[in-house]
Amino acid sequence: MQQVQGLGLYGTYAHPFDRRACTREGGYRGMKELLARPRLPTAVFAGADIVAMSALEAIAEAGLSVPDDISVAGYDNTTFAALGPISLTSVDQAGQEMGRNAARLLLERIADRHKPSTQVRLSPTLVPCRSTAHPPSWS
């Protein structure tokens, strides 16, 4: 929380999505819970694009606009995230590069079982699209 506030981000931080709810239905229910609160969030970050897409559905049903009323971002940068009338801002976790590295390391280990283990670090990148904007109070 202190790190978030250190970035100048303040407000109520809620996480209504538990591990079992990282599904389309869970994202929809979680967003409905957030929308039922007296104070609406200005932004929602979902741990998976599918959860974020269902949050978009709940926001639209509530008569709110993305990103004008609430910004939404997901994680995975899946192909479907760019589809539709609102292209979803998402974090790309470099899945293809991760797969290439995993295959290469596996083949290297098979060829030489005594080779020391290798650690590969990949940095995720934010792919900004039309589902995020500055909060309304910044206008």
DSSP assigned state of 64: -
For 62, the token pair is 């509530």
Span 106-129, pLDDT tens digits: 999 999 999 898 899 999 999 999
Judged against a pLDDT cut of 50, whether residue 4 lies above it is answered with no
Can you give the pLDDT at residue 23? Answer: 80
DSSP string, 2-53: HHHHHTT--S-------GGG-SHHHHHHHHHHHHTSSS--SEEE-SSHHHHH
Span 22-35, pLDDT tens digits: 788 888 999 999 99
pLDDT averaged over every residue in the chain:
84
Judged against a pLDDT cut of 60, whether residue 1 lies above it is answered with no
Can you give the pLDDT at residue 86? Answer: 72
Residue 49 to residue 26: CA distance in whole angstroms: 12
